[in-house]
Amino acid sequence: MPENFFLSEEILEQIIDGGNRTIMVIGASDSGKTTFVEQIAKICSLTRKTAIVDIDPGQSHIGPPTTVAWGMVEKKEFEGWEKLKIKGFYFVGDTSPTGNLLPVITGARLMWDEAIRQADKVILDTTGLVRGNIGKILKLHLIDLLKPEVIFALYREDELEHILSFFRGVKFPRIFKLPVPSDVILKDFTFRRNYRQKKFRDYFKFAREIEFIPEEIGISKNLSPDYLNMRLISLRDKNNQDIALGIIKELNERKDRVVVYSPVSNPERVGAVVFGRLKLTLEGVEMRF
């Protein structure tokens, strides 16, 4: 477990301040964002009703991979991600924000809207995509839409300067830079892939086969079985809200029934389907194509 970040008196005051309702944490991959979010969530939740919005569809801690999700600290102290109850999610459809900026930003805003209505404090845990123009575009638009009063920027070198320099002449948001602790572990591609596989496997642990009529949930008969089979989807309710992920197992020959593997508890609530970019085995293995 990486060591905690050093928090000065000024930083502690910013975290505790009731006027700072939205706190954003940014940093490159493996900069300790999750550890820092845990640290400040423990502080906030002692005195304030605290929510966390996870805006990382690849290494998510609240919702399943491919989603932006939010959860509420149920007790008067953050006791770990496994005890953070998921309150809602938005399906991005892929595990990377690259090529999916609009779904990530849309999901972040929708989940923040829900969280800020129900919590005193909202902590935003962001994706590690910060480099280059695409990282800058993503972070600047997230800041514009979510309007955090405070941003904590976790850095090793100067990888955040092209983002932070934009705010040199403004008063808000207030930005605090913190160096990354030396013992933060760098994770390779295999670690990240295995993490997602476990998250998918856990999510679908209690899934079952459910039959739907394709036309009733927006699946066109013109879509080929090759396109549909094993595709990851999100099931939305009749109010157009994401309620569960699913994997399309098969479309029968007459194309009047589709079998979906999903843990959705009330299939009769399903009114629409959103298609993801991934195909997924029932064991949670991603199939790129």
Same domain, 208 and 283: yes
Q: What 8-state DSSP symbol labels residue 6?
A: P
pLDDT digits (tens, 9 = 90+) for 11-42: 999 999 999 999 999 999 999 999 999 999 99
Same domain, 280 and 233: yes
Q: What is the CATH number of the domain that holds 28?
A: 3.40.50.300
Same domain, 137 and 30: yes
- Which residue positions in the chain have pLDDT lower than 50? 1
239-245: long-range contacts, CB 8 A cutoff, minimum separation 24: 239/271, 240/271, 240/272, 241/88, 242/67, 242/88, 242/89, 242/90, 242/91, 242/274, 243/269, 243/270, 245/64, 245/66, 245/67, 245/91, 245/203, 245/204
Same domain, 16 and 83: yes
Same domain, 45 and 139: yes
- Integer Cα distance of 130 and 154 in angstroms: 11
The answer as to whether 34 is a domain residue is yes
The answer as to whether 196 is a domain residue is no
**pLDDT at res. 1:** 45
Strand-strand pairing, 85-91 and 242-251: unpaired
Same domain, 108 and 151: yes
Length of the chain: 289
Q: What is the CATH number of the domain that holds 242?
A: 2.40.30
**pLDDT at res. 76:** 77
Same domain, 257 and 149: no
pLDDT digits (tens, 9 = 90+) for 127-148: 999 999 999 999 999 999 999 9
- The parent domain of residue 246 ranges over 204-287
Same domain, 158 and 82: yes
The answer as to whether 195 is a domain residue is no
Same domain, 210 and 177: no
How many domains are contained in the chain? 2
**pLDDT at res. 222:** 84
Same domain, 259 and 149: no
**pLDDT at res. 60:** 93
